[in-house]
Structure 1
Amino acid sequence: MKTILNSRCKPESDFCIFTKKLVPLAKSSKHTSALQEVDGIPQPEFISQSALQKAMAKRRIQPSADELLAGILAHDKTALSRAITLIESTNPDHLTKANTVIQGCLPHANRSVRIGITGVPGVGKSTFIEAFGSYLTQLGKKVAVLAVDPSSSISHGSILGDKTRMEELVKDENAFIRPSASGDSLGGVARKTRESIILCEAAGFDTIIIETVGVGQSETAVHSMVDFFLLLKIAGAGDELQGIKRGIMEMADAVVINKADGDNVAKAKLAKTEFNRALHLFPAKSSGWTPKVTTCSAFEKTGIDAIWELISDYLTLVQSNQYFDQRRQEQNQYWLMETINEQLMQRFYHHPEIAPLLEQNKKAVQNHELSPFAAASIVLKKYFKED
């Protein structure tokens, strides 16, 4: 055949491959069995280049700090999301802009109730928050959920699936859900959750819910930024033993036994009794509040109203005895020191003289040429000398 269209062949090969059949070619003087591509009919473009260029151009336009601030104060969720992305950025160039936005939001913050919710994986935190948040929006509240998802220590990625789980709440106009990766934070809290609270309050949200990764001694990070700390439990999973352990139970202002539905109702009531007994073993809280234990079913949306009533009773007490304001002041001081520690670490690890020296000393420690203490001393002396 003399005319070949849309083919892949080699002039010296025996056959040329068409889309539907093989066509024999004339033998060439130099015969090999390899195949070679030749120009064929170009494939049509599946993406509109003009639409792609417009989208990319729009993405490259970054709003200024004043524009972000104006959007937040106008209760624009898009501006709020972009501002949170800005403050979560690890790019040093974004720090000044982020601080400007946070500073502008401060006069409009501190006008919300901050609720921390934690519990073991599988306890139903996301389902509970959706049921609880939907109940609050029905009461006329504006709810912001800052959900922290665990990050992989291997790939450092996160699925951030809380919006998928809260499919009803995410469509509520009076709700805002922001999933964030925990990163290397031990407390199950994203690096900039504290600043995100300020932005959400400035955007008009009067109830801030922080969902954490899970239970552990490092959950003190959550306790240090909320007004009310709620611990979710499930019955029938050996969890009752945790009631006599200190740490997380001492911080809880309320223990809620979730999944109290179906055949699990009797087990939930028994767990409630066990936790009530355990709570009496702990010393009285400085707030004057006695932690309560209750049950609920986030799936059936039962017992949710009793939980909000319990939280309201707590707020009435701590606001009347001035503990609420005292606690907020203590939290501000705590996060001042945490921010100083964080920025010192960032400045240290990003120092141009320190990075190569640190790698060099790491290898020396690995090869047993230096002790970790001697290596640390060398690196720190270099850092303080440079500064």
Structure 2
Amino acid sequence: MDKPEKPISALNERDGIAQPESISPQAIAHVTQLRKKQPSAEELVKGILNGNKTALSRAITLVESTNPLHLEKATAVINSCLPYANKSVRIGITGVPGVGKSTFIEAFGKHLTGLGKKVAVLAVDPSSSLSHGSILGDKTRMEELVKDADAYIRPSASGDTLGGVARKTREAIILCEACGFDTIIIETVGVGQSETAVHSMVDFFLLLKISGAGDELQGIKRGIMEMADLIVINKADGDNIKRAKLAKTEFNRALHLFPPKASGWQPKVTTCSSITHDGIAETWQTISEYFDLAKANDFFAFRRSEQNSYWLTETINEQLKANFYSREDIATLLKQNKKAVQNNELSPFAAASILLGRYFGLNG
């Protein structure tokens, strides 16, 4: 008589069907091969002028690189794209963390692409001062806009740049314009640092606020308020609508205390909801009114000329700094002098004088 089979325990696993590979080895090999092949400057420029987003991304990666070997190639790409740039409007958007910048930009960007515009978003993510890493999660937060064929989102790490503007954002603007994007949006970190950098590279500066943040009546960050061309009270929906309207009134009163702008524009305050999209169309209408005024009185062209002059000196300063710290003899002398300064054997000013003297060849 056959012995009865022993019942199978629920704790035992049955042999299943092996799952197929989720990614084809052939596809991996193909992508790896493509990554190894570095396109020439001419190929990148051709792709950019044809509206190829992949070529645009590779070119921005190139100009962001700190590798000295990439500088010549990046410069060639920028110079070739420059004649096709300056045909867009540049909008800077800032606000404290939690104000809803990414959600606002997605709703605003979708509105603009709905009007037939091509929108590029240069989003700057904060870098850790400890690990120097960045999450770069703006593409995840703007999941609808990132799928829009007429939109392009490029997150970059802020690094140690004051104001939260990536070191090569200015060059990225030129590349995006050459790629055919007519509206460039620059999102800053918004952590309370100087916003001068972003203000110096845009035509319009938008400050996002939320009601109930406690700063309506305390001077309201005079520096950034004076730079703002438009203040938008975000999250004006649900139970927050009344508070948003009250904040709008308070900010309007504050704006009248500031001196008039050289553009002849009187800054405005509006409310909006990035969730319901109420006020998004009105925001663009206000920005359009500003551009009509600035172009009519030639302030727009004057502002662009001032930006070019500012970024000439900024680029010189940046390249001098990079060259200074990259020299091996300076690095060795810096290490020695830093130790002397820490031990109070040498003042910081004397140490700096010695280092600069070596750099410029004044003291051998």
Give the TM-score normalised by structure 2.
Answer: 0.91
Q: 1:264 aligns with which of 240, 243, 249?
A: 240
Paired amino acid for 1:147: A
Percentage identity across aligned positions?
A: 75
SS of the equivalent of 1:230 reads strand
- In the alignment, which residue of structure 1 is the partner of 2:308? 332
Query: Contact between 2:120 and 2:151, CA under 8 Å: does it hold in 1?
Result: yes
- In the alignment, which residue of structure 2 is the partner of 1:294? 270
CA drift of 1:244 comes to 4.3
Q: 2:223 aligns with which of 242, 247, 257?
A: 247
- In the alignment, which residue of structure 2 is the partner of 1:275? 251
- CA gap of 1:132–1:370, structure 2 versus 1, over 3 A, is same
- In the alignment, which residue of structure 1 is the partner of 2:7? none
Tell me if 1:71 matches 2:47: yes
Paired amino acid for 1:66: E
RMSD in angstroms over aligned alpha carbons?
1.7
- In the alignment, which residue of structure 1 is the partner of 2:61? 85
- In the alignment, which residue of structure 2 is the partner of 1:323? 299
CA distance in 2, matches of 1:217, 1:241: 20
Tell me if 1:368 matches 2:344: yes
Tell me if 1:348 matches 2:340: no
- In the alignment, which residue of structure 1 is the partner of 2:287? 311
- In the alignment, which residue of structure 2 is the partner of 1:16? none
Query: Contact between 2:92 and 2:185, CA under 8 Å: does it hold in 1?
Result: yes
What does 1:16-31 align with in structure 2 at a 5 Å threshold? Answer: none
CA drift of 1:217 comes to 5.0
Larger Rg: 1
Paired amino acid for 1:261: D
- CA gap of 1:350–1:292, structure 2 versus 1, over 3 A, is same
- In the alignment, which residue of structure 2 is the partner of 1:28? none
- CA gap of 1:87–1:135, structure 2 versus 1, over 3 A, is same
- CA gap of 1:255–1:49, structure 2 versus 1, over 3 A, is closer
CA drift of 1:245 comes to 3.7
- CA gap of 1:180–1:244, structure 2 versus 1, over 3 A, is closer
Paired amino acid for 1:98: A
Q: Deviations over 1:154-205 (max 9, x none)?
A: 0000000000000000000000000000000011100000000000000000
CA drift of 1:368 comes to 1.6
- In the alignment, which residue of structure 1 is the partner of 2:3? none
SS of the equivalent of 2:194 reads helix
CA distance in 2, matches of 1:100, 1:268: 49
Tell me if 1:381 matches 2:323: no
Query: Contact between 2:164 and 2:193, CA under 8 Å: does it hold in 1?
Result: no
**Which runs of 5 or more structure 1 residues have no equivalent in the other structure?**
1-19, 21-44
Q: 2:36 aligns with which of 47, 56, 60?
A: 60
- In the alignment, which residue of structure 1 is the partner of 2:109? 133
Q: Deviations over 1:194-246 (max 9, x none)?
A: 00000000000000000000053510111100000000000012131355441
CA drift of 1:375 comes to 1.0
Query: Contact between 2:162 and 2:193, CA under 8 Å: does it hold in 1?
Result: no
- In the alignment, which residue of structure 2 is the partner of 1:123? 99
Query: Contact between 1:114 and 1:208, CA under 8 Å: does it hold in 2?
Result: yes
May I ask how many residue pairs the two structures share in their alignment? 344
Q: Deviations over 1:102-141 (max 9, x none)?
A: 0001100000010000001000000000000000000000
Greater RCO, 1 or 2 (C-alpha within 8 Å, sep 6+): 2
Q: 2:181 aligns with which of 179, 183, 205?
A: 205
- CA gap of 1:368–1:115, structure 2 versus 1, over 3 A, is same
Query: Contact between 2:120 and 2:184, CA under 8 Å: does it hold in 1?
Result: yes
Q: 1:219 aligns with which of 189, 192, 195?
A: 195
**Which runs of 5 or more structure 2 residues have no equivalent in the other structure?**
1-11, 13-20
Give the TM-score normalised by structure 1.
Answer: 0.86
CA distance in 2, matches of 1:110, 1:234: 33
Query: Contact between 2:228 and 2:267, CA under 8 Å: does it hold in 1?
Result: yes
Query: Contact between 1:217 and 1:247, CA under 8 Å: does it hold in 2?
Result: no
CA distance in 2, matches of 1:138, 1:245: 34
CA drift of 1:54 comes to 4.1
SS of the equivalent of 1:247 reads helix
Query: Contact between 1:118 and 1:215, CA under 8 Å: does it hold in 2?
Result: no
CA distance in 1, matches of 2:30, 2:340: 52
CA distance in 1, matches of 2:131, 2:29: 31
CA drift of 1:377 comes to 1.1
CA distance in 2, matches of 1:289, 1:159: 37
Q: Deviations over 1:60-89 (max 9, x none)?
A: 110000000000000000000000000000
- CA gap of 1:204–1:47, structure 2 versus 1, over 3 A, is closer
SS of the equivalent of 1:282 reads coil
CA distance in 2, matches of 1:296, 1:47: 43
